[in-house]
A and B are shown apart, each in its own frame.
Chain A
Amino acid sequence: MRPRGFLRRRVVDWVARVLAVACLVAALVPLLSILWTAATLGGPRLLDGWSFLTGPFAGPCSPNITPNCSYGGIGPALQGTLILVGVAALIAMPTGILAGIYVSEFGKNRFGRTLSFLADVLSGTPSIVVGLFAFATFLYLDPTLVFSTLAGAFALSVIMLPVVVRTTEESLRLVPRSVREGAFSLGIPQFRTTLRIVLPTGGAAVVTGALLATARAAGEAAPLLFTSFGLESQLGFQGLDHPVNAIPPLIYLWGYGEPYANWRSDAWGMALVLILMMLALSLFARWILARRANLIGGMS
């Protein structure tokens, strides 16, 4: 004899499961729609291949595509994004990895824990605020550099830094204590233990964190609006003290600010380029992590 209310409870259980699946579907539908839209609207532009990725910008058309007015390339913006992200990484990677080493290896005290906490808080700072900060900093230091590649790269490095710190810390924490103890018992000094033994052991995960930080920074438009984004520049990179175009803010400008059909289409092409870059970086990061799991699993 089944207990009273058994059927009702079974039905509730079933309804809850259906609702949970519905939530998952609700989360994945926008994702698939974004990927599909970028593929269909941006894909044709990307099929132009090299001339799209490296070619010069198109001039503005009338709102409709006409025979004597065509699509263009995104060369200057792609170049700008690569340089901005590269310079930002040059600033943020060494600082972030060293800071992560401190928090994980030497900061096992209130100060170290506070730093780790503050890195989390810093990573929650809105990117537009970081852009304003870079703007205000350069306004104070050297007003001629306010709208410069350097200011943009600085802003992106502030976005990257906390991610690198936290992922370095997390990945070094996963290195078994016995590895360090083994090195110390051989009389190897601490800095050499850290740099030659602990860091390479956790290295794959550190690289993963660096990749994720880079990916996050590469897609940011807001920090560049007040710093490096040169509205009128049709040229590419002209030095760290000059403004430079970049893909994310140009998507904003061409996709939202301007009515020209060919620019809107090129904006979707850039969106697809960004999405593919993100996918490649996160897949690569996952691949590295999977390899590291085997390595550390074999060690402990």
Chain B
Amino acid sequence: MAPEPADEGAALPERPRTRRRVWELLADRVFVAGTAVAAVSVVVLLVGIAGFLTRGGLPTIYEFGFSFLYSTTWDPTRHVFGVGALVFGTLLTSAIALLIGVPISIGVSTFLSEEAPAAIRTPLAALVELLAAIPSVVYGLWGLVILAPLMRTQIEPGLRDSLGRVPVVSALFGGTPIGTDVLTAGIILSIMIIPTVSAVSREAMSAVPRSQREAALALGATRWETTRTAVLPYASTGIFGAAMLGLGRAFGETMAVTMTIGNNPAIPSSLFGQGQTLASGIAGQFGEAGSDPHLVAALLEAGLVLLGITLAVNIIARVLVRGVFRGGEASA
């Protein structure tokens, strides 16, 4: 290597570097602009998704108007389309998912954030997060082979013979248990939202200042009283945001629901009835998608409806969750 001239000190200003400076300035500009273009692709995609689905769905938007949203007739052979039953199925399965999944998630995050010994927190949290790594289609296969038979032979008859005799709720637990039905799909969804909801709730609970807990403990509160009076109220916005994130995931979850809900585009008569969600309804008809332009338009508009619902829920969730963590960082 040739000996380099000393590059420091007084020698520096005299070296002719002007041309290099200009090049570097230009490269800087180009680089920043390039990254900005890449970043704008996120916006382009979001607008593109909404735009292309709207454009493709225009035929059914014109033909059926608002009745597309509430009509419960989905009949590809007669070219009559309404997603009322699918919207109902989406809301029902997601409600089941939240009713079961959110309390369990809060319990998990309470244990991992407040109760568990420090040494086992991280491995247990990693184990719960593994639930998120399992692909949707594997959940579906498991639901079909393991959960659905269990539901048909054990859980659903049990529910029918117990809750099915309680006056008001009996309508929910009537009918013949089939196994692949709305309740099974809802339970699968509840399992699938646990990793998201519990991880975000746990972060929200970790963001609670230590002084809150110490104050409660100093007043003589037990662990649980500390959690109930000092931690959960403080973290409630974040936990609510976490539940909304879970709701967004449940709305859009496709393969696992398609494989377990029974795929019947009608409003089920009870939780043991077969139903359909927006996502599973779209997925179930991929085979015919290429051939029938009416069906394609209806599927794209159904996708647009699903996009609208999930966007609304996700935006609320993200606003809540981000607000919590920004506030937490500021006070820390």
Chain A residues engaging chain B, CB cutoff 8 angstroms: 3, 9-10, 12-13, 16-17, 19-24, 26-28, 30-31, 33-34, 37-38, 41, 94-96, 98-99, 101-103, 105-107, 112, 115, 117-122, 124-130, 132-133, 135-137, 139-140, 146-147, 158, 161-162, 165, 189-192, 194-195, 215, 219-222, 225-226, 229, 231, 248-249, 251-252, 255-256, 267-268, 271, 274-275, 278-279, 282, 286
With a cutoff of 8 Å between Cβ atoms, the chain B residues found around residue A219 in the complex are: 134-138
With a cutoff of 8 Å between Cβ atoms, the chain A residues found around residue B283 in the complex are: 128, 222, 225
Q: Would you call A190 and B32 a contact (CB within 8 A)? A: yes
Q: Would you call B248 and A128 a contact (CB within 8 A)? A: no
Chain B residues engaging chain A, CB cutoff 8 angstroms: 24-25, 27-28, 30-32, 34-43, 45-46, 48-49, 52-53, 55-56, 103-108, 110-112, 115, 124, 126-128, 130-131, 133-142, 144-146, 191, 194, 198, 220, 222-225, 227-228, 245, 248-249, 251-255, 258-259, 279, 282-283, 286-287, 289-290, 296, 299-300, 303, 306-307, 310-311, 314-315, 317-318, 322
Residue of A nearest to B28 (CB): A190
With a cutoff of 8 Å between Cβ atoms, the chain A residues found around residue B111 in the complex are: 17, 20-21, 23-24
Could you give 18 example pairs across A and B, Cβ below 8 Å?
A13-B225, A17-B115, A21-B111, A23-B105, A24-B111, A28-B127, A37-B145, A126-B251, A127-B254, A130-B49, A137-B52, A165-B39, A191-B30, A219-B136, A226-B289, A256-B259, A268-B141, A278-B135
Partner of A135, one of B45, B227, B249, B289: B289
Q: Would you call A99 and B35 a contact (CB within 8 A)? A: yes
Partner of A222, one of B35, B255, B310: B255
Question: Given A135-B289, A222-B254, A125–B310 Cβ distance below 8 Å?
Answer: yes
Q: Would you call B252 and A98 a contact (CB within 8 A)? A: no
Distance in Å: Cβ of A292 to nearest Cβ of chain B = 16
With a cutoff of 8 Å between Cβ atoms, the chain A residues found around residue B191 in the complex are: 27, 30
Residue of A nearest to B113 (CB): A20
Q: Would you call B252 and A125 a contact (CB within 8 A)? A: yes
Q: Would you call A161 and B41 a contact (CB within 8 A)? A: yes
With a cutoff of 8 Å between Cβ atoms, the chain B residues found around residue A275 in the complex are: 134-135, 138
Q: Would you call A231 and B287 a contact (CB within 8 A)? A: yes
With a cutoff of 8 Å between Cβ atoms, the chain B residues found around residue A13 in the complex are: 222-225
Q: Would you call A99 and B39 a contact (CB within 8 A)? A: yes
With a cutoff of 8 Å between Cβ atoms, the chain A residues found around residue B318 in the complex are: 117, 120-121, 124
Distance in Å: Cβ of B20 to nearest Cβ of chain A = 10
Q: Would you call A23 and B104 a contact (CB within 8 A)? A: yes
Q: Report how far A252 CA is from B39 CA in the complex, Å.
A: 34
Q: Would you call A27 and B252 a contact (CB within 8 A)? A: no
Partner of B28, one of A21, A23, A112, A189: A189
With a cutoff of 8 Å between Cβ atoms, the chain A residues found around residue B245 in the complex are: 124
Q: Report how far A35 CA is from B16 CA in the complex, Å.
A: 66
Known pairs A13-B224, A251-B138, A275-B134; list 6 more (Cβ under 8 Å).
A12-B225, A23-B107, A34-B134, A125-B311, A191-B28, A220-B136
Partner of A133, one of B28, B52, B133, B144: B52
Residue of B nearest to A127 (CB): B254
Question: Given A17-B223, A98-B35, A126–B253 Cβ distance below 8 Å?
Answer: yes
Residue of A nearest to B228 (CB): A16
Q: Would you call A33 and B289 a contact (CB within 8 A)? A: no
